[in-house]
Structure 1
Amino acid sequence: MKLIYIANARIPTEKAHGIQIMKTCEALVGQGVDLELWLPRRNNPDFEEKDIFEFYEVKKRFRVRKFFCLDMIGKLNFLPGVGFYIQSKTFANSIKQELRRGDYKDAIFYSRDTYPLVPVIQAKYRYFYEIHTTKINPGKLLLKVFEKSRGVVAINGNLAKQLEKYLLEDKIIVAHDGVDMEKFGVLITKQKARQALGMPGNKKIVLYMGHLYDWKGVHTLAHAAEYLDDNATVYIIGGTDKDTSKFKEFLEKFRLKKIKLLGRVSPSEVPLYLASADVFVLPNSAKKDISKYYTSPLKLFEYMASRRPVIASKIPSLLDVLDKSTAIFFTPDDPLDLSKKIKAVLAEEVPTERIVSNAFQEVQKYSWQARAKKILSFLNSKLNR
């Protein structure tokens, strides 16, 4: 199969979608797919010298092509959304020109973005759409993408149920995000990890890794830290430079002093930091639909593979993967309840050994390879009709 994955994304990037796209492509190549990744040529000074395959530790290489776009994202903040619109439309126009130049009648297109699919639809090429979030009332473009697609891949079950309002059930498949089991499934002792990172050996470490958006719930974790005993330290790792600065202001405003804010680390360092922890927290908020219903956090699967107890918000998006046999739940957006659950785990008042073992067994089916097999089987079933 010749598959062209179009991603309107700046890659390499500090954001999780870069990992998701690159690992999905690598896993599809591993299944024998002849794959090309088409990207916009965007400005990213922090990553200009980075090799895309080395940065994401991708072993199975594939062709990456970059196309012109007018990158106005972040330059027209006084006109919300306009910068993204200009960038997306000019990237889509470059795709249109390429489709006119080449012969792609035998190719299958795949994308998680709507604008780049417009020229694909116009050229009447076959494509599949991967959806990561939606609205109660989708716009005309998204509805058209649904209608003309051969099938839609949803990243969780809640999204799939929402799609059934617009698509036949057999045109939808659920393929959660994944994890690199070769990288995260290797057991590293806490002692070795902490020695390598220069972290204290005599403290209990509570760890969150991910972005600092409001809906991620990190503000709840920061408030919860104030209720913890002095022998526990909360480490927050990740976030863009801009979001990290903003989060520091939040910590100073509320005088929250029990947080160690480390900023972002390279993908190669992530397993070591996870191994240093006593417990992981996934504190997603229930106040935004993207968090409550539609997210499929990469860190969830990395947490499960790293064999430490996971304390998670009790919200539908996380319950799509977790249950009481694989995680400890707390009331979303409730710092006091979160602190109680953290204390109980650290004091060994909760029998976490079986929970950790169950989570590790459960995460085996969420490897990138398993995801690629599921997607490829779905694609073939729809193409052979």
Structure 2
Amino acid sequence: HVMKMCQAFADNGHEVIFLLPDRSRGCEPGVSDIYAYYGVKRNFQIRKFEYQHLKVKFVSQIRQMQKSLHELDPDLVYGRCFLGCTIACLSGYKTIYESHLPLWRSGNIKKLWFSLVTRNRNFKRLVVISEALKTLYSKEKIIGEDKLFVAHDGADSIDDFQSKAELSGEKERLHVGYSGHLYQGKGVEVIAGVAPLMTEVNFHIIGGKENDIAYWKSVIKSKNVFFYGFKNQTELPKYINSLDICLLPNQKIVLPCGKRDEKRNISDFTSPLKMFEYMAHRKAIISSDLPVLREVLNESNALLVQCDDFQQWADAITALQDKNKREAIAQQAYEDFMTGYTWKIRAEQVLMNAIE
């Protein structure tokens, strides 16, 4: 998400520097070209500052951030790190903070601190990823409505619709797919329930960590379900291109990776990246009928079904065996995407009228 936004800011003519801590211990192994790994152009710089792993070095961390900001002297700081944005704001730099979940989930101290920071004249805007999340912030009354801005997530526009991956299973069948994480609430349980009802359809699951894949392989015994594991941003488009129908089966409770507490549920305010990737690839989408997803999807650009009703999912897939219907909703989804949800458009919108 961050790499795509950096690229998009640069595409819009801004000089962009991505400043981040040097957490070499947490880097993906075997990645020699970070730009290629995330499928972005080299149109922005990446700079790292020294990172101390010990909590006792907290003050040192702040000083490192301040030093880096002083050296760069940016016109604007845009970020998703609350600490970094706070330091930038209080150090005199115009700042926009982007939030993907209610900040107060981390505790009331952070909530209080945030309410104070937003009153600073250098704090220009809070960007949130859905109208639902904006409503949550509004109810807490910790930021003025004039500083709240909704920008749904996005995706890259697609130039190559022809390159395709080699999918498993019989080629002449309908190919239905899901791309993304496999943790609780993302909807793999829907595929587990629907696949046995539709043995003549191939289901493809792209993504997931090894332990999650192993779990679902132990649960799903249907021979028409195929797993492909994680694919990076260079490989993923070929897999989506190969699908006839894409599934967005979010459930009413979605717990981020590793979370077990339902208080961490993100389902009500999420903005799934894969939704926009499906739209960008001009694919027919079948989606859970949830209010937050209806902020983008509707009866013209998707089929919407009860999230936990396997028969409704099966009926929707059957309906989209009609190629004309499939192509019609796919085209509408693509047109909606191109006019409102590319990264480039998003990067332009989040800065609009924010800086005098």
Structure 1 and Structure 2 fold alike (TM over 0.5): yes
Unpaired segments ≥5 residues, structure 2: 118-122, 255-263
Equivalent in the alignment of 1:145: 114
Are 1:23 and 2:19 an aligned pair?
no
Equivalent in the alignment of 1:266: 232
Which of 323, 327, 334 does residue 353 from structure 1 map onto? Answer: 327
Once the two structures are superposed, the pairs formed by residues 51-130 of structure 1 within 5 Å of their partners are: 51-70=33-52, 86=55, 93-100=60-67, 102-103=70-71, 107-130=75-98
**Contact 2:134–2:148 at 8 Å: present in 1 too?**
yes
Which of 220, 227, 246 does residue 280 from structure 1 map onto? Answer: 246
Deviating above 6 A after TM superposition, structure 1's stretches of 4 or more consecutive aligned residues are 135-138
Note closer, same or farther for the CA distance 1:246–1:93 as it changes in structure 2 (3 Å cut).
Answer: farther
In structure 1, distance between residues paired with 2:87 and 2:351: 23
Tell me by how many angstroms 1:168 deviates. 1.9
Equivalent in the alignment of 1:218: 188
Tell me by how many angstroms 1:329 deviates. 0.9
Which of 172, 176, 184 does residue 202 from structure 1 map onto? Answer: 172
Unpaired segments ≥5 residues, structure 1: 1-19, 73-85
Letter of the structure 2 residue corresponding to residue 162 of structure 1? L
Note closer, same or farther for the CA distance 1:247–1:272 as it changes in structure 2 (3 Å cut).
Answer: same
In structure 1, distance between residues paired with 2:59 and 2:132: 29
Tell me by how many angstroms 1:29 deviates. 1.3
In structure 1, distance between residues paired with 2:22 and 2:211: 22
Q: 1:223-259, CA deviations, whole angstroms, 9 ceiling, x for partnerless residues?
A: 221211x2211110001233323333443xxx45432
Equivalent in the alignment of 2:150: 174
**Contact 2:96–2:126 at 8 Å: present in 1 too?**
yes
TM-score, normalised via structure 2 length: 0.84
In structure 1, distance between residues paired with 2:289 and 2:32: 38
Tell me by how many angstroms 1:57 deviates. 2.5
User: SS at the partner of 1:267?
Assistant: coil
Tell me by how many angstroms 1:272 deviates. 1.3
Letter of the structure 2 residue corresponding to residue 69 of structure 1? Y
**Contact 1:193–1:276 at 8 Å: present in 2 too?**
yes
In structure 2, distance between residues paired with 1:222 and 1:378: 47
Aligned residues: 336
Q: 1:138-160, CA deviations, whole angstroms, 9 ceiling, x for partnerless residues?
A: 63314433542321011111111
Note closer, same or farther for the CA distance 1:48–1:69 as it changes in structure 2 (3 Å cut).
Answer: farther
Which of 204, 207, 218 does residue 238 from structure 1 map onto? Answer: 207
In structure 2, distance between residues paired with 1:308 and 1:106: 40
Equivalent in the alignment of 2:129: 155
Tell me by how many angstroms 1:208 deviates. 0.2
Note closer, same or farther for the CA distance 1:314–1:272 as it changes in structure 2 (3 Å cut).
Answer: same
**Contact 1:175–1:374 at 8 Å: present in 2 too?**
yes
Letter of the structure 1 residue corresponding to residue 280 of structure 2? A
Tell me by how many angstroms 1:352 deviates. 3.0
In structure 2, distance between residues paired with 1:92 and 1:321: 42
Q: Identify the range of structure 1 (276-285 vs 238-247) with the bigger mean alpha-carbon deviation.
A: 238-247
Letter of the structure 2 residue corresponding to residue 258 of structure 1? N
User: SS at the partner of 1:177?
Assistant: coil
**Contact 1:326–1:355 at 8 Å: present in 2 too?**
yes
Tell me by how many angstroms 1:358 deviates. 1.2
In structure 1, distance between residues paired with 2:205 and 2:149: 34
Note closer, same or farther for the CA distance 1:108–1:146 as it changes in structure 2 (3 Å cut).
Answer: farther
